[in-house]
Structures are given as C-alpha cells and as structure tokens.
Structure 1
Amino acid sequence: MDHAAEECAPPHEAHDKRRAAEEHKDTRAPKVARTEGEAPSGRLAKRKVAIFFGYCGSGYSGLQVNPGVRTIEGDIFDAFCRAGAVSVENAVNPNKVQLQRSARTDRGVHAAGNLLTLKLMLEPPELPEGLTLTEYVNTLLPPQVRIWGMRRVQNAFNARTSCDSRLYEYLLPTYVFLPPKPFSAMWKMLRRVNYGSEQCPLNKDRAPLFPWQDPLLENDAMLNHPFWRALEYENEFSEDVKAKRAWRMPEHDLQRVRAVFNEFTGSHNFHNYTVGKEFRDRSAYRVMKRLSVSDPTMIDSTEWISIKFHGQSFMLHQIRKMIGMLVLLSRTNVPHSFVAQTFGPARIHVPKAPGLGLLLVEPHFGGYNIKVRNNNERIDRMIAQRTAAKGQENAKPVPKDAESEKRVQVDYAEYQEQMAAFKQTFIYDQIHRTEEDTSEFAKWLNYLDVFVGPDFAYLNPHGTIPQEAILRVGEQRRAPGGQPKAVPSDDDDDEGDDQELEG
C-alpha cells in the first residue's frame, strides 16, 4: 500500500483500503517454515561441510581454482560435480557453493592435510550403493589427490579465518649447508668482508694460492673447509654434486642451523621475507609459534633434514625466503643474532629456496574446536537438566533435534595413518626422486655462489647490514657487463595462506 496516498485520502477511504488489504492478506496461503536442511521445490538439501584432503602439487598450477589451468581445487570441484553433490546450476562456479580454503599453496607445493568448505548434497542420486560420498569422489580423482573425509560444520565456520595456525614442513639435503666453493663469486665476497681482499696471494708462477696454501686462511673453517680441500678444484658441477651427496653433516653444524633457525621464533616484521610489503606495513608482522629442525636422515645415498614451521599465517614466499636466509647464515660465519637485523627497516635481498621441498602438513582450528566443545557441553547439560526434570510442573521437553545441533571438532586425528602413507609415497618420495634426477638444490646453491654484486655483503662476521647491501624498493641493480642481476621476482608462485595475497 502507498502510505503517502493513504495519508492524502479521506478518512473513510483510508479505512476501507486497510480493511480490504487485511482481508486479502488473510486469504493468502500461509507461509510454511522449512525445517533445517529442507530444500524448496523438491531439491536435495545442501549442507556446509569441511573437506579434509591432501595432494602432491607436481603437475598442477597451484591449489586455487584458476580458469584455463589445471588446479587441485578445480579437480576436486569437478569430481563433486560429477558425483552429483553439486547441482548442475551451481557447477558453473565454485563460488555458488561458497567454496573456501584454509591455506593456499601454489605451483608445485604439496599438502598432506588441507581443508576446504563448501555446501554439498551429501546423498546425491548418483551415489553408488555401498559407497560413501568420500569413497566415490576419490574414484573420480587422480591418485595424487585424496579426500580423507568430510564433516558437517557450523554455518559460521570460515575455512580461512577459523584457522588459527598452520604447520608447514620443508625438506632439504644437508649438503646445502656446505660453504661456497673456493674462488666462486660468493667465496671471494666472503673473503673480502672477512679479510678486506677478494684475491688470494700469488705463488711464484703468479697463480693464486689455494685456500689451504694461504697462511691467512689456515684456521678458517669456512673459507678453507675440509670438504673442498679433499676435492679437485677443477671438478665439473656433476662431480661436485656427487661428492656433496656423500657428505655428512657434523653435529656442531647441525647445532648452528638450529641456533640460527630459533632466532625466527616469536612475532616479527617479516617484510624482507615476502614481496610488495613495506617495513611500515603492519600486515608484515607474523607470529612463529614453534620452529624445529630434525636430526639428519639417510634417504638412499643423500642425507636430509626436515624443518617445521608452526605459525599463525605466512605471506607469499615467506617460508622459502626463511629457508634461504637460514642457509646463507648457516654456511657462513655470520652470528646467528643477525636474523634480528632482517626484521628492521633495511630492505635486503633474501633469496628464495626451491619450492620443491615445501609441503603443508595441516592447518589447526584450536579456537573453533573450543567453541564446538563448549556448544556440545551446553547441549548435553540442557538435555540432562530437562531429562531430570521430566514430569515436574512446567518442565520443558528435550527438543527432538537437540543431538543434531552438536558438531564434530575439525582436526586430522582420525586421518593420520592415511596421511602418513600418502605423504611418504606421493610427497616425500617425489621430492627425493626429483632432487636425485634434477639436482634442484645443487643448482640453487650454484646460483647463490655465482651471484655477482654487493647484495650479500651482509654476510659478514660483524652481524651488520652495510649500506652497499641495502636495496631501494623496486631497485634492479646490474652486474658487471651490463646484464641485469637476478632479483626476487614479484610474479613467481609460492606458498601463501594469507588471503591478502593469495596460497
């Protein structure tokens, strides 16, 4: 009714119009409230569920749906559509079923446990008899992508914001902690920042003395390392790699790695460990809850260690750059306290370690699980109180749907055995085979050791950042000869679970 017209009409006409409207309202069919889960027009009800899954990222262009390229989410969403758990009208866009993820991983990065939420029809007509929806969807996915299970979650559950921390793991061979090869660009730079000169003394034939012939380097365990003394200086790259894989990390080297890594623990400004963030950007602050370095483990003929990061959230490239800094400091004589300098305003070049060794172990939902426990306990108390008061005057009955209002905690406890087997076969073995076939980590070390320029001049024994090593935002220096030097690229793909950058 037009209230302005009613106010302008004579009183008796306005009264007649209101009465006619009320009579018309009374003759309309009463609106029937739908119970939870009931869908209109005979359609199957959709439920909000958490999907627990793992994957090997090799061959994929990352996790998140990206039109035109193959992604893990794309394969999973397609499998649910083919299983009939997503209606035809919603199959055109994952956003129609409110798809969210807890942690994004990018190209080549793996996950033993990750989590998606979306709204699904849990008992579609296409579901084969005797199979659960989880089992059926797994038959529609490649073996390198597995659904561990699914659970109903509260409508307020948000896969990203309800996740209060993430656990990542990075695997790498221990030989990456060997000092640079003598006479390489990195070795010469280290000699300069330690002794004031890049050049070794010359022998009588005007040829540079080897480090083990130079009295100045006699007791220098870094520039005159026993590993390099035992090798021929003119070895080819492949021969060096073979020798590196046979090397075994001494206990004191392992303890140095742990001491350096421990400096990252706590809340810090990680602007140097990502791209596109200034020192003053508050979002560059991240909290590292727990960090650990395993004992070395032999895999075939190579020694490996596992490094774990348990943090609230991570920015683009952050883990790979943290590994990069860990390797730089651990293979030189820089004091481990230098890590604190990287959280300051000076912008420096922190190289990214290969994406090969990175995997998401699992996201954690501690805060949400506390809410679930509190909610379930409240329902249990209500049921117990009303059951005990049954038969008393004014006693309230127990709601028929009380038990259905309970929710299950979001965790991976019941999937650990499946995840461990999958992780070994599809992630660990894949990482080890790839390194064996491609020498990915050895090539990365070679990139570091041939890098020409002052960017790594902060690798000095004083634990300071000299002016020559400080970069301006967007700066791209040039190496001798006019060729652009390698600098961190803003468009490389990496891990990242922060939706500000998402992944």
Structure 2
Amino acid sequence: GVHAVGQIISAKLMLLGGERVDGHEAVDGDDVDTAPTLAALNEELARRCDDVRVLGIARVTNKFCAHTGCTSREYEYLIPAYCLRPPDPAILKTDVDIGRAITQEAREGDRPLSKEEVERVNAALSILQGTHNFHNFTDAKGPNGPMDKSMQRFIISARVGPQRCMDGVNYVSLLYHGQSFMLHQIRKMTTMVAAAASSAIDNFTLENGAPGNGAPGNGDVSAEESAGHLTTAARTAILYALSKTRVVGIPKAPSCALVLRRCWYKAYEKKKPEGRASLDFADVEAERSTFVEE
C-alpha cells in the first residue's frame, strides 16, 4: 500500500467533553471542542502503533462519505536530489554507467537542486499534466490494450515541492495532483522524470530515428515551450511513453518514498453548510510535514 499523511476517513463518533468552543451548550455536535477526543485517540494509537496518528477532526454532513466524495488526491514522492541532476562529467566515464556515476557523486558531495535544475525537473513534470494515456506507467492493462479508455488519466498538476535535508541527504518533493491514479503510475512517472532530468535518456531515439516524430502533443502548450531546459531526447522519450500506440518498459521507483499528501473534496466544499469546517485541514500542515520526516 501507499503511505499517507493526508488520508481522511468518515466515522460516527461520540466526542468527549461536549462543550462548545464558545462556552455555549452543544447543538447536534456543531462547534464542539474536538481536542479531548483527538488526544484520547492518539493516546490509544500510541500504545498500539507509532505509525498511525490522527491529526484533526471535522464535523461533516450525515451523508458524507470520505471514499466516494473525494474529487482528487495529491501524492508526494521524496526523491534524493542527486537522482535529478546529470552526474559530474569528471565522474562519468565511458566504462562507468550513469547509475554508478550518480551513486559516486552522491557519496562525494550532495547538495540541493539549483534554480535551473528545479526548472528542468518542472519542465519534465509539466509534460505529464493534462489527459493522457498512461498505459506505459502502470502494470494494469485495459481489455483493449493501450487504446483502452481505462488507461486515460487527468493530471491536474505535477510540480517540484519543497526541498529538505534528512539524515544528511538532500531530498526533493515531487507533487502529483490528479483525479485518480493507476497501479504504480506515480512510481513509474517519477522514474521517467528522473531519467529525463538527469540526462539518463539523452540517447533516446524513436524507431524511425527522428526524435519527436509521431509523439503526442501537450495540450495548448507546445512541446518546446513546456520542456524548458529539457533536451530534445528527454522530452521525446516522455512523449513517446504517452503515445497510445507505443509500449515501453518503465522501471518503478521504490514504493517507500510515496506518500498520499492530501485528499480534496471540491463538491463537498461548495455545498457544505455555512460554518462547517473545511476538509483541507490547512491548520495541521506543519504536523503533516513533521510526521513525514519522523
């Protein structure tokens, strides 16, 4: 399964306490102070499992369902910064493959991504945005092959998030926001982005030897505009993998770095009664980040 720091569940609870935050008598559970219940839940969880924690509680409508009401989800993949940059030419030699070169560079000196390097990663991520056939990015296969509509997904945004240093290693947050994702889709997208940003696929060519020929477009933005600092070969490789008629074997990035960051309830937020709390839980964002790093 996927790790999560933004998972939302719906449940019927009898809250502890029972007094409103403003001191008046509680009416049908609205505005009741949830702090005692939150503390009791986490105290019980701490005795059973350190990996599960409740970050917030919000009152919802009686018919609300956390599973079916979710309109989109945002996932975060934490990847070492050195995986997203080309290895030092002084390290990369003809008898050393790029994977070994990147590993050697990581040992000899790690650093955060520069502004230009972040732009290159964002350029690769931007190509994945919009509606595409992601049949090459999942192990699940549609009944009609690559052309099957079940292979289509809409990526709302894909971008570089904050960088952070943990245990002496610099990590980059890759944020994927979409309506839904297929099995292993994010892990394979991350591999493709890392390969493009690190120039690991600069020798890529299509079957006919013409880079970019026959590759799908990228919505209203031209491939050149969306690619930014990407090489033509790297841009072509991503577009090639998004082509309906192509079949490409893409490795999966490790699952341990993938985290469900947030669930979005756009329809509920529009229709929720006035005064009900939002389900974005923005007030616990600091706790989310701390929990991830723990």
TM-score (normalizing by structure 2): 0.69
Distance 2:170 2:42 in 1: 35
SS in 1 for 2:259: strand
Residue aligning to 1:119: 12
Cα contact 2:3–2:260 (8 A) shared by 1: yes
Counterpart check, 1:335 vs 2:234: yes
Residue aligning to 2:124: 260
TM-superposed deviation, 1:151: 2.5
Cα contact 1:263–1:337 (8 A) shared by 2: no
Deviations 1:425-469 (A, max 9, x none): x2xxxxxxxxxxxxxxxxxxxxxxxxxxxxxxxxxxxxxxxxxxx
Distance 1:298 1:414 in 2: 23
TM-superposed deviation, 1:317: 0.6
Counterpart check, 1:110 vs 2:10: no
TM-superposed deviation, 1:242: 5.3
Counterpart check, 1:244 vs 2:103: no
Candidates 44, 53, 60, aligned match of 1:153: 60
Residue aligning to 2:41: 137
Cα contact 1:134–1:150 (8 A) shared by 2: yes
Distance 1:296 1:363 in 2: 22
Residue aligning to 1:168: 75
Deviations 1:378-403 (A, max 9, x none): xxxxxxxxxxxxxxxxxxxxxxxxxx
AA paired with 1:340?
A: L
TM-superposed deviation, 1:112: 2.0
1:161-310 to structure 2, matched below 5 A, reads 161-177=68-84, 225-229=89-93, 241=103, 243-245=105-107, 246-248=109-111, 252-278=116-142, 279-294=146-161, 297-310=164-177
Cα contact 1:274–1:321 (8 A) shared by 2: yes
Distance 1:131 1:358 in 2: 30
Residue aligning to 1:345: 245
Distance 1:332 1:145, change over 3 A: same
AA paired with 1:308?
A: L
Cα contact 1:260–1:337 (8 A) shared by 2: no
1:437-456 to structure 2, matched below 5 A, reads none
Highest RCO, 1 vs 2 (Cα 8 Å, sep ≥ 6): 2
Cα contact 2:121–2:193 (8 A) shared by 1: yes
Distance 1:155 1:291 in 2: 34
Deviations 1:465-485 (A, max 9, x none): xxxxxxxxxxxxxxxxxxxxx
Distance 2:140 2:158 in 1: 25
TM-superposed deviation, 1:269: 1.2
TM-superposed deviation, 1:121: 3.7
- The two structures, once aligned, show a CA RMSD in angstroms of 3.2
SS in 1 for 2:58: strand
Residue aligning to 2:223: none
Residue aligning to 2:288: 419
TM-score (normalizing by structure 1): 0.42
Q: What percent of counterpart residues are identical?
A: 31
Highest CA radius of gyration, 1 or 2? Answer: 1
Residue aligning to 1:387: none
AA paired with 1:136?
A: A
Distance 1:272 1:121, change over 3 A: same
Residue aligning to 1:354: 254
Distance 2:105 2:234 in 1: 28
The count of residues paired between Structure 1 and Structure 2 equals 235
Candidates 260, 266, 269, aligned match of 1:369: 269
Residue aligning to 1:410: 279
Structure 2, unpaired ranges of 5+: 18-33, 203-232
SS in 2 for 1:324: helix
Deviations 1:248-272 (A, max 9, x none): 4565544332222210011111111
TM-superposed deviation, 1:131: 7.4
Deviations 1:83-138 (A, max 9, x none): xxxxxxxxxxxxxxxxxxxxxxx0xx4222210112334459xxxxx972222121
1:54-69 to structure 2, matched below 5 A, reads none
Distance 1:116 1:416 in 2: 17
SS in 1 for 2:38: helix
Distance 1:260 1:131 in 2: 43
